[in-house]
């Protein structure tokens, strides 16, 4: 495999993970996709651009290079289901709309998928683990913000329209309860956006696996409606006019994470 991730080390105890931002495909996946999947519609589009202010905050960033259609970095390596009802697995078989992702008989082989696990999934999680360990060793704690986005209306996955900001803490297990309260309060201050805590999206594997408040690692997932910053359908254009106010809220959330850490781990 060529480069499978993009990592930039920061100077504060915060890591922003972007596991579904990748656009690269392996030859086997590209050859097998149905025509409707060629444009990669289920991508977390433009997430690195949306969070381009993170460097100024001093946060570390980790972004995937390969598409979730190759392997989903926010699923466990044993592919145990993360949500009740319709969902996608470690090796997605369907689009978010429920139709088959691959042409019949053209799915990547078992051997190819094993190589994706070893060469794409494992390096991402190794770097994630290493950076959280580094932050904890340097600061005494680590903050993980798992950044996602999704179309606001996908009937196959959920009813109606999603709230704009979907915070997930695995029902309170992945971060301190007061931190979650403070993040929700930040969202509530922006009445032009809707929000929910632990609604349809409670946090995927990354949030659930790495968040461990007892060990001073606090993880939060944000599933953001793409309607807040882009056009949700092809060609999936980034909309700076929409993104600017959304970035303002995102910046407040990340600053809120850091402020909470400073006040609770003051030496």
65 within 8 A of 14, measured Cβ to Cβ: no
Name the band, by pLDDT with cuts 50, 70 and 90, for residue 87. Answer: low
Question: How much is the average pLDDT of 180-208?
Answer: 97
d(CA 111, CA 126): 21
* pLDDT reading at 86 higher than 80: no
What percent of the chain shows pLDDT beyond 70?
97
**How far does the chain reach from its first CA to its final CA, in angstroms?**
43
228 within 8 A of 162, measured Cβ to Cβ: no
Name the band, by pLDDT with cuts 50, 70 and 90, for residue 97. Answer: very high
Q: Where are the beta strands (DSSP E) in 106-256?
A: 142-150, 165-168, 195-197, 217-225
Question: How much is the average pLDDT of 12-18?
Answer: 98
* pTM of the predicted protein model: 0.95
Annotation: CATH topology of 5-264: Aminopeptidase (3.40.630)
72 within 8 A of 147, measured Cβ to Cβ: no
Question: How much is the average pLDDT of 96-106?
Answer: 95
DSSP designation for 238: B
**What average pLDDT is seen over the chain?**
95
User: What pLDDT is stored for residue 82 in this prediction?
Assistant: 63
Q: Note the pLDDT tens digit of each residue in 109-158.
A: 999 999 999 999 999 999 999 999 999 999 999 999 999 999 999 999 99
Question: How much is the average pLDDT of 219-229?
Answer: 98
What percent of the chain shows pLDDT beyond 90?
93
Question: How much is the average pLDDT of 198-225?
Answer: 97
Name the band, by pLDDT with cuts 50, 70 and 90, for residue 85. Answer: low
Q: Note the pLDDT tens digit of each residue in 47-80.
A: 999 999 999 999 999 999 999 999 999 999 997 7
């Amino acid at each position: 495999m060529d480069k499978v991730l993009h990592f930039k080390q920061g100077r504060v105890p915060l890591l922003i993970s972007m596991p579904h931002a990748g656009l690269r495909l392996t030859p086997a996946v590209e050859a097998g996709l149905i025509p409707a999947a060629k444009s990669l519609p289920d991508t977390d589009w433009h997430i690195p651009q949306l969070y381009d202010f993170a460097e100024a905050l001093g946060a570390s960033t980790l972004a995937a290079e390969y598409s979730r259609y190759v392997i989903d970095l926010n699923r466990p390596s044993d592919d145990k289901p993360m949500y009740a009802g319709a969902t996608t697995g470690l090796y997605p078989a369907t689009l978010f709309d429920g139709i088959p992702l691959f042409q019949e008989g053209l799915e990547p082989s078992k051997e190819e998928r094993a190589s994706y696990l070893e060469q794409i999934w494992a390096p991402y999680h190794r770097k994630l683990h290493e950076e959280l360990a580094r932050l904890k060793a340097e600061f005494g704690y680590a903050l993980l913000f798992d950044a996602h986005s999704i179309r606001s209306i996908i009937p196959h996955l959920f009813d109606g329209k999603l709230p704009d900001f979907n915070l997930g803490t695995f029902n309170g297990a992945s971060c301190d309860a007061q931190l979650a309260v403070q993040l929700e309060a930040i969202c509530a201050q922006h009445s032009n956006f809707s929000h929910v805590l632990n609604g349809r999206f409670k946090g995927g594997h990354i949030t659930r696996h790495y968040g461990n408040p007892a060990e001073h690692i606090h993880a939060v997932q944000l599933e953001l409606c793409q309607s807040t910053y882009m056009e949700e359908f092809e060609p999936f254009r980034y909309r700076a006019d929409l993104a600017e106010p959304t970035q303002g809220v995102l910046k407040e959330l990340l600053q809120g994470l850091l402020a909470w850490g400073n006040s609770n781990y003051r030496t």
